Amino acid sequence: MQGAKAKGIGLLSGGLDSILAVKVLQQQELDLVGVIFVTPFFGPKQGVDYERMLGIPVMVRDIGGKHLAMLKKPVYGYGSQMNPCIDCHGLMLREAGKIMEQRKGDFLFTGEVLGQRPMSQRRDSLRSVEKLSGYEGRVLRPLSAKLLPPTTVELEGKVDRSLLLDIHGRSRKRQMALAKQFGIEDYPQPGGGCILTKQGFVKKLQTLFAVHPDAGVREAHILSYGRLFQLPGGQLCVVGRDRSDNESLEQLAAQGDRVLRSVDYPGPRVVLLRGCVNSGLPPNDALCSSSDRLCAAPAHDHDVLLAAQILASYSDAPVDEDVLVEWKCGDEVGRVKQSKAERHDFQQYMV
């Protein structure tokens, strides 16, 4: 092929198939760029240097807001859980297409394999994804290209179709053989990635949307960092599981959230989502705002007291020991003592 190299923008998931898609295309004289999209439900794997591994420039783009709007009402519905795979792939290709146009690129590419996934990688599903993206005829799937209609860049001779592959179905044998051929040793096993396929997380997300239909990216993201409880007054309570969760909850908590911590014993951070806005607390002058004196939450605010009890149950305090719990709403601070109970006493509230 003569003239300038064809430019391709590729969707990277971090999985073996998208890695192989890059490697297959690198057998030709092409200008390739990878893009990894970030949402509350998936993103780049920590500690992986994708540019070094693939030998191409890789950019990261956050599409959390657009993805969440799509998730609440997908055109093609959901898979086995709350995974809108067809709509999701269409959205990512549409966003990648914008990058392609900005860079005056020629085509998009993915690591999709015909027939590998029952919802999103059937022949008709791949067509639907292209239609949603708005870039019909410009989406190249190098691993299955010989089994699919030729794309514009193939017809124009910018990409040599004879060097592309014809992988089909759920077997991973050919991908594993290719990985060995290309010297790829460290790659993730299939089946992970998007937590919208995980029943436990989906139940939490559905509860969030039921309580807060206008929930945004931050609130969806915070669900990943702890156990979720739905309290009798309707408030949602996120309880950190370890130090990493606690740090993430501190960072993600917003002005309207009530944040609780144990003063005397190691324990989890607890976040009452929108707990300052919808708590039903009396005016500010009735609140304790000094950390120097003991302050009980108003007796009628049962959700705050229950959240403190749950925190105490997950603290390192001995059972039946009093645990001093501090809560914060913005600049307001209060304290309440709760006796540590057994964790199973609160199992009925766990989502």
Domain C-terminal end among 181, 210, 244? 181
- Do 93 and 123 lie in a common domain? yes
The secondary structure of residue 195, as a DSSP letter, is G
pLDDT in tens, 220-265: 999 999 999 999 999 999 999 999 999 999 999 998 999 999 999 9
- Do 244 and 169 lie in a common domain? no
Q: What is the pTM of this model?
A: 0.89
Strand-by-strand arrangement of the 227-230 sheet? 227-230, 236-239, 270-272, 258-262, 322-329, 332-339
Q: Is residue 280 part of a domain?
A: yes
- Do 156 and 255 lie in a common domain? no
- Do 210 and 339 lie in a common domain? yes
- Do 299 and 265 lie in a common domain? yes
Q: Is residue 188 part of a domain?
A: no
Q: Is residue 287 part of a domain?
A: yes
Strand partners, 261: 326
Q: Is residue 190 part of a domain?
A: no
Please give the structure tokens belonging to residue 212: 């807060």
Average pLDDT over residues 301-323: 95
The secondary structure of residue 150, as a DSSP letter, is P
Counting the structural domains of the chain, the total is: 2
Domain C-terminal end among 181, 210, 233? 181
Q: Is residue 189 part of a domain?
A: no
Largest CA distance in the chain: 79
Q: Is residue 191 part of a domain?
A: no
Q: Is residue 212 part of a domain?
A: yes
As a whole-number percent, the residues of the chain with pLDDT over 70 amount to 91
- Do 202 and 332 lie in a common domain? yes
As a whole-number percent, the residues of the chain with pLDDT over 90 amount to 81
- Do 15 and 158 lie in a common domain? yes
- Do 104 and 16 lie in a common domain? yes
- Do 38 and 121 lie in a common domain? yes
CATH number of the CATH domain containing 157: 3.40.50.620
- Do 113 and 36 lie in a common domain? yes
- Do 109 and 166 lie in a common domain? yes
- Do 58 and 87 lie in a common domain? yes
Q: Is residue 1 part of a domain?
A: no
Task: Tell me the C-alpha distance between 113 and 218, whole Å.
Answer: 33
- Answer positive or negative: Cα dihedral of 40, 43, 45, 46: negative
pLDDT in tens, 29-51: 999 999 999 999 999 887 788 89
Kindly tell me if the per-residue pLDDT of 314 is higher than 60: yes
pLDDT in tens, 114-167: 998 877 889 999 999 999 999 999 999 999 999 999 999 999 999 999 999 999
* Domain enclosing residue 235, as ranges: 198-349
